[in-house]
């Protein structure tokens, strides 16, 4: 079984304070991933993580996702790259300290897009990593773009592209929220399941990001996953809280804490 697992930026950083990691949370999450893989040696995981208060903060300052053309915007592009890389180094350190054979694949070094659509990404290295029981890691990052000069891709953008080649069995999106709220901002009822058939019922009730999020927040995540699930049954996704200890390990074992998205 192959699982794509995302550690959301709201989970691994304080998204309200620029460039502030949650190191204790990172340490716990890494240990949960290690325990989940130890429980099921046949399980393969491709890990992604968001940029949180690192890349989203500088990305919003420089409007990098919209495009890059002026000298000032290219300097901003480099700043966003540095912030994304800084957070990735912290994530990789936590993973390695937990005994995980993690290898990072920075999108900025390998992806070319056209109007934010991936047109070139050599995936044989990631495939080899998975075949040899390594833990490949991708993350929200800047990329060069033939139309916009440069832009930012989210982890969900990456997962959608990767899914066409690797065909995961499940996609797990771990953030701060316990799932997708039916009644944001009251936040008293969660969707148990969301399917492409009831997508129109969502309206504008899907909870937006309360902090800076240059790649769209919860609404975009839900719709991206529903599009992917529609084209790739029986794939399912789960949006859940990684802030609750044990949830990552439970999800890797097959449970669905939070909101399940399926056909």
Q: What is the pLDDT of residue 200?
A: 75
Q: How many domains does the chain have?
A: 1
**What dihedral do alpha carbons 184, 187, 191, 192 form, nearest 10°?**
170
Classify 2 as helix, strand or coil: strand
Rounded Cα gap, residues 160 and 227, in angstroms: 9
The answer to whether the CB of 57 falls within 8 A of the CB of 84 is no
- Please tell me whether residue 139 adopts helix, strand or coil conformation: strand
Query: What are the distances in angstroms from CA 155 to CA 6, 24, 174, 189, 199?
Result: 7, 22, 12, 27, 22
In 61-148 the beta strands, taken as DSSP E runs, fall at 102-104, 111-114, 117-121, 135-139, 141-145
The per-residue pLDDT for 56 is: 81
Q: For residue 226, which of 177, 176, 173 has the smallest C-alpha distance? A: 173
Rounded Cα distance between 60 and 215, Å, is 10
What is the pLDDT, as a whole number, of residue 43? 98
What does the pLDDT read at residue 185? Answer: 84
Q: Domain range spanning residue 199?
A: 2-261
100's torsion region: left (phi>0), alpha (psi -120 to 50) or beta? beta
**Beta carbons of 256 and 180 less than 8 angstroms apart:** no
* The pLDDT of residue 183: 86
Task: List per-residue pLDDT tens for the chain, 263 residues long.
Answer: 999 999 999 999 998 999 999 999 999 999 999 999 999 999 999 999 999 999 888 999 999 999 999 999 999 999 999 999 999 999 999 999 999 999 999 999 999 999 999 999 999 999 999 999 999 999 999 999 999 999 999 999 999 999 999 999 999 999 999 999 988 888 899 999 999 988 877 766 565 555 555 656 788 889 999 999 999 989 999 999 999 999 999 999 999 999 999 99
Assign residue 189 the CATH number of its domain.
3.40.1160.10
> Which residues are CB-neighbours of 177 under 8 A, at least 6 positions away?
10, 207, 218, 239, 241
pLDDT in the model for residue 214: 64
Return the bridge partners of 261, or none: 194, 237
Q: What is the CA radius of gyration of the chain?
A: 17
Please report the DSSP string for 173-236 in residue order: EEESSSS-BSSTTT---B-SEE-GGGGGGGTT-SPPPSS--TT-HHHHHHHHHHHHHHHSTT-E
């Amino acid at each position: 079984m192959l699982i794509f697992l995302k550690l959301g930026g709201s989970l691994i950083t304080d998204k309200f304070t620029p460039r502030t990691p949650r190191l204790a949370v990172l340490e716990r999450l890494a240990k949960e991933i290690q325990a989940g893989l130890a429980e099921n040696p046949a399980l393969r995981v491709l890990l992604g993580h968001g940029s949180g208060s690192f890349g989203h903060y500088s990305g919003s300052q420089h409007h990098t996702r919209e495009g890059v053309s002026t000298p000032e915007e290219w300097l901003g592009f480099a700043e966003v790259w540095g912030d994304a890389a800084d957070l990735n180094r912290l994530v990789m350190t936590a993973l390695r300290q937990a005994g995980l054979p993690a290898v990072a694949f920075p999108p900025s070094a390998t992806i070319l897009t056209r109007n934010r659509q991936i047109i070139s990404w050599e995936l044989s290295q990631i495939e080899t990593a998975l075949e040899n029981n390594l833990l490949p890691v991708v993350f929200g990052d800047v990329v060069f773009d033939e139309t916009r000069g440069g832009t930012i891709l989210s982890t969900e953008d990456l997962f959608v592209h990767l899914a066409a080649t690797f065909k995961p069995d499940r996609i797990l999106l771990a953030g701060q929220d316990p799932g997708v709220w039916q009644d944001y901002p009251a936040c008293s009822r969660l969707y148990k399941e969301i399917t492409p058939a009831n997508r129109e019922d969502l309206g504008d009730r899907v909870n937006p990001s309360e902090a800076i999020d240059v790649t769209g927040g919860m609404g975009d995540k839900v719709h991206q996953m529903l599009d992917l699930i529609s084209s790739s049954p029986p794939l399912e996704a789960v949006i859940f809280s990684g802030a609750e200890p044990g949830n990552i390990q439970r999800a890797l074992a097959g449970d669905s804490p939070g909101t399940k998205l399926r056909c």
